[in-house]
Amino acid sequence: MRCTAIIPAAGIGTRFGGSLPKQFSEYESIPILIHTLKLFERIPEVNSVILAITPSWEEYTREMITVHGLEKVQKIIPGGKERQDSVFNSLNIIEPNEFDVIIIHDAVRPFVSSELVRKIINTAGETGAVIPALKPKETIKQFDDKGFIIKTLDRTVLCAVQTPQGFKSDVIISSYKKAMKENFYATDDAALVEYSGFPVKVIDGEETNIKITTQFDIHF
C-alpha cells in the first residue's frame, strides 16, 4: 500500500503568543515541526511527506530538514489562508493513483505514537476514512453568546477528534474538490468526507497525542 502524509504547518499560531509560529517553537532544542517529521521517518508504511508551510519559513525549514537528516519530505508547498486551504494545496500536487492512502496530520501534534499512525493507515485502506478520537471525561454543555447554558449534551455520543486522519486517496481528493467548489469549510478533514456522504470510522485516540496550542501545552 502506497501512503503519503500531508503535514499542514502554515499556521501563524495566534493563540500561542511569542514571536514564532507554534510549529517552530522548540522542545528539547528541536522545533516541534521537526519532532513531528522525525516520527514519520521511523514509520516504514509512510512512503513520503508533503509539507505545507508559509513561504517565508521555507528556507529555514529546508535547512532544518537537512540538519536533521530527514529523507521523506518530498515536497514543500505554500500553505493557504485556512488549514483547509493548506491541505487542499497539498492534495492538488498529488497525481491520480499516486497513493492508495493519504493521511493528514497537524504539525503541532508531535507525540502521536507510531502504533496509532499505522492503525490509521491500515484502517483507512479497509474502510476509506478513519479518525482517532477520545470520549470526553467532562460534562459537555452548550452555551449562548451571553455566557449562559443552553443545554447539557449527552457525552456518551460525543468524541473529541485528533489527527492523523486517514483516507483512501480518491475519497479525500473528491471530498476536498466538492467542499472547495461549494465553499464548505470545516475544522477537520473528516468533516469534508462526511459532507460528501462517505462513512467515517472512529478509533481510539491517545491522551498523549495533544495538539500544542498554548505555551501551557509545551510545558505540560
Long-range pairs of 213-218 with CB within 8 A, sequence gap ≥ 24: 213/15, 213/16, 213/22, 213/108, 214/15, 214/16, 214/17, 215/16, 215/17, 215/18, 218/25, 218/27, 218/32
What cell does 202 get? 472512529
Residues in region 60-79 near ligand C5P by CB under 6 A: 79
Q: Does residue 168 touch ligand C5P according to CB under 6 A?
A: no
Q: Is 102 helix (H, G, I), strand (E, B) or coil?
A: strand
Nearer to ligand C5P, 193 or 212 (CB): 212
Name which of residues 82 to 111 contact ligand C5P (CB under 6 A).
82-83, 86, 106-108
- Residues 4-33 interacting with ligand C5P (rule: CB under 6 A): 8-11, 23
Nearest approach in angstroms of CB 54 to ligand C5P is: 8
Pairing of strands 30-31, 48-53: unpaired
Give the nearer residue to ligand C5P in terms of CB position, either 86 or 175: 86
Task: Kindly state the smallest distance separating residue 107's Cβ from ligand C5P, in Å.
Answer: 4
Q: In the complex with ligand C5P, which residue's Cβ is closer, 114 or 213? A: 213
Q: How many CB atoms neighbour CB 156 within 10 A?
A: 8
How many whole angstroms separate alpha carbon 70 and alpha carbon 59?
Answer: 15
Least distance (Å) from ligand C5P to the CB of residue 214?
10
Report the DSSP pairing between strands 101-104 and 201-204.
unpaired
Task: Tell me the number of residues near ligand C5P by CB under 6 A.
Answer: 16
CA distances from 148 to 18, 140, 151, 154 (A): 32, 13, 9, 18
> In whole angstroms, how close is the CB of 60 to ligand C5P at the nearest point?
14
Least distance in angstroms from the C-beta of 126 to ligand C5P = 26
- Binding residues for ligand C5P (CB under 6 A): 8-11, 23, 52, 79-83, 86, 106-108, 213
